[in-house]
Structure 1
Amino acid sequence: MTGLIESIVIPLVDHPEAIAVTEMQEDTKIVYHLTVHESDAGKVIGKNGRVAKSIRTLVYAARPKAEKRIHLDIM
């Protein structure tokens, strides 16, 4: 899943080397923390959060049904 998140975000940013995706397993969900360069944060979040919402929709749709719920935090 981290590869999917990175492949979505890399074309959006000016500093692809600053992208970091970390995964944390919890009891009922898997949390992914996406960190980008501070100058790229606005590009990843988008106007009114539309780009971030689209990224989350794609990631949630790619989840296998048997897997835990997924949550994506963008920092």
Structure 2
Amino acid sequence: MKELIEVIAKALVDHPEQVRVRERAGDQAIVFELSVAPEDMGKVIGKQGRIAKALRTVVGAAAVKEKQRVVVEIVS
């Protein structure tokens, strides 16, 4: 799951070397924190959050396949 988020995020940004994904266990789900360079934040979020929503949808679909609950947070 972590690798999937990294691949998608690196394809979207101008500075792929600054993409970081941190995994932590939440109460009911696995939480992935995605951080990118400040100037790439808009590219990851997209207009009205559309790209962020699409990223969460793809990761969520992959998680269902593996019978997991996953949350993707975009942090600065």
Higher helix share: 2
Q: How high is the sequence identity, in percent, across the aligned residues?
A: 49
| Superposition TM-score, scaled by structure 2 size | 0.91
Match of 1:15 in 2: 15
| Superposition TM-score, scaled by structure 1 size | 0.92
Q: Point out 4+ residue stretches in structure 1 off by more than 2 angstroms.
A: 64-67
Amino acid at match of 1:50: R
Q: Which runs of 5+ in 2 are unaligned?
A: none
Q: Which runs of 5+ in 1 are unaligned?
A: none
Q: Write the deviation string for residues 16-59 of structure 1: whole angstroms up to 9, x where unpaired.
A: 01000000012311000000000000000000000000000000
Task: Please give the alpha-carbon distance, in whole angstroms, between the structure 2 residues aligned to 1:71 and 1:47.
Answer: 20
Give the number of aligned pairs.
74
